[in-house]
Structure 1
Amino acid sequence: MKIKIAVFGRKELISRLNHYVEDQDDIEIVPFIYTKTKDTIELMETAFMCDIYLFAGALPYLYAKEKINKKRLPAVQVAFDEYMILTSFYRLKNYHNQALDRISIDVLDRAHVDKVVNELDMQEHTIYTYSYGDDKVLDIDLIVAYHQNLWSDGKIDYCLTSIEEVEQRLKEKGIPTSCMQIPQINVERAIEQAKSIAKLNHSKSAQIVSGFVRIKNFDSLISHKGELTSQELLLKLHQILLKFGHKTYSSVLTNGDNQFVLFGTHGILNHITNHYRDFPLLQEIERSLTISVDIGFGLGLTAKQAEDNAKLALEACNRTESSNCYIVNERQETIGPLGVEKHFDTSQLYHALIHKANLNNELSYNFIDFIKLRNNEPFSANDIAKYYRVTKRSAERTVYKLLSGDVIKVVGEEKPYQKGRPRKLFQISV
């Protein structure tokens, strides 16, 4: 398993990260380089194919924090700790010939500065600290003004900042300033932490699939064909489901009362998503038994959630008298009916792929086949990667072209891992 780490930071720091992981075959760094820290939020929207986010700076993490918490995204921040303060003081004294007195410093948490000051017995030194982690709203102007006012009042001789943009603006004002450098050990620890979290998420892999199958209007069937014939049909249905369970690595149970229960994970999920249009199980039951059935599949991150969603999917089958199969995902969105072809204008889609998304003929035809196969149901970039048998990065580039050309649109999310980041779902918009 190769872990894809989305790294948000300046070019120089991302180069250091790449250098550290170049000999590690289980990691791939996906760089998201910004010139303005606020761009982090926008860049995050294009990182949906990655396993975890790594923020190589305090400021980008603060800008992204609300989105991280809201969507429960797996994220790691390079530590801005006492070791970083200590090495910054060393550089200030030895490289910039600046005494550790009459200086101002901005940090995420002033506690780190206080600990270093106490450790070095520097209580008599004049050090002004701005802790922007305490601010309700992050404002670069306030940080710049803090340093500038101290300089104008003659209270400081030098500024030490943790933010590149603050360094640039203070230097433009003629104020002696340098930006802290992140120690290599902090970078290495952040990568190892990101790797550990991503592996843990994958180990909990786990989207569970539950399914219920029943003969439609079973009581009426008993009245018309008798108890014996009805029980024979149940037995034959059970045999068909056992064969399906063997094929999809899922368990088949019976709870009596004309209802069978299926449980599985990725095996049954892959089968379902590969047969939206021509659901073979439904076809085989109808062909072999000449009866109508209801099939409801539920997806969930726990067995209980999957079971509850399967019950909702089964209820959706009551809308018609014919055989039906529906899926309810972990967000309780109903997909289906499966096995019923959803038509779309292939000529119009082909024209959009060629002229709007700038795909070549082969890719365009393949994408149309992909949409047909999935019966025009929502798909993720991961689905494209599997269908085309390409890398996730290649699939991500294709998705970007399709989005840029307004050929597809975002219609939702799926969460295949309990602790992982949701994947965006797309659907054609032409």
Structure 2
Amino acid sequence: MKIAIVSPQDSLKQAIPLFNEYKINYVSLLYDEHHSIIPMIKEYEDQVDGFLFTGVAPYQIAINSIDLSVPVEYVQHDITTLYRTLFNIRYVHNLNISQFSIDVFKTSEIKEVFEELELPFENIYMGEFNPLNSDEVTHYHMDLFQQGKVNFCITSFLTTYKKLKMEGIPCFRVVPSKFALRKTLELLILEITSLKKQEAQISVGIFNVDNIQSIMNNYSEYEVQSLKLKLYDLILKYGAASQSSVVFSGGDEFIIYSTTGRISKGLNDDQSNFLLEQIRKTIPMSVSYGIGEGLTANEATNNARIAVRRAKDEGGNCAFIRKINGTFMGPLQEPNEIEYISGYNEEIELIGKKVGISPATLSKIQVINKKIGKEIISANELSEYYGCSLRSARRLLSVLEKYDYATITSFDQPFSTGRPRRYYKLNF
């Protein structure tokens, strides 16, 4: 594991002992001016597993300018940092801490500290700023000092600190405490480790043509093969976006092999989010896409085939993931995408046999009800989240009510005409 520390010299001194303690390889990206940050990050992005910023300003500059592909964290100043700074000013520099300006902490945090120390804060000027606007911060402190309202200034901004020093204004710069650095470093290590574990898993994606028989009945053999080649080309581009290997297994099926991290990255890429939509617009084919995760290729392939069947059960032309723990996610890229567990549940199995509704459907109804965040659910809500017709949603809830697995709790008449909307409470 290798981490880049983006920091000025004073904060770096605090961070290096921690990296040595955790035995983490690091590279120091030192800066004096903010304009040098972006070139350094671009140079090292492919050489490190993550970035640790010791200040919020360089962090904001980086994430606003570059779409980083590795974990990134910045050290947030905590209350221990404020106590240490005030102690240093009072007892090392022998200054009265009753009249100063500060830009680092929230007003509520500063007031709380001064109340605990039983110190007055009537003459403490507390400003909260956009970390990218250092000029505004500098002028804030400078104006207060020139007006005689403060005796010194406290800032976390390196640029502001340098400018105030040049003007001869007493100024103290807040650097992260060892506690805050440790907490942030541990979080970054955890993120990097989790990402590496995720990418060690295997992902298999299976594309299966839904309407192949209809196509074969309406097109010549040459035209069918031509359509398959066009489909293969679209899937190859998708594979390139997710850095995956694509295999045409013959017939009506295409398979993608990758790591979990890479295939997920491909799903979130702008060029591949709308793959199924591109297929539908480009060629007269409907395709179901199932993604399976596993520790082995065989396990991932089995999960992918289960996910394909789940997509076809939804009517096709959609995508589902079956995770390593048996959880389903889907339909992917839909506004009402939900995650639910499909596996043996004795209670659900018994209810399903009794009422004539599949256990998978019952599980999905449960999850939809939880996602809505209310104790009751209407047929309209079930239809919207499940993706089924309103008539089907009414039938499902009516069957559950018939067998006492749902109870009508209230009615609503949103329009002056039409049947009233029923709300059900699930009893399973």
TM-score (norm 1): 0.49
TM-score (norm 2): 0.49
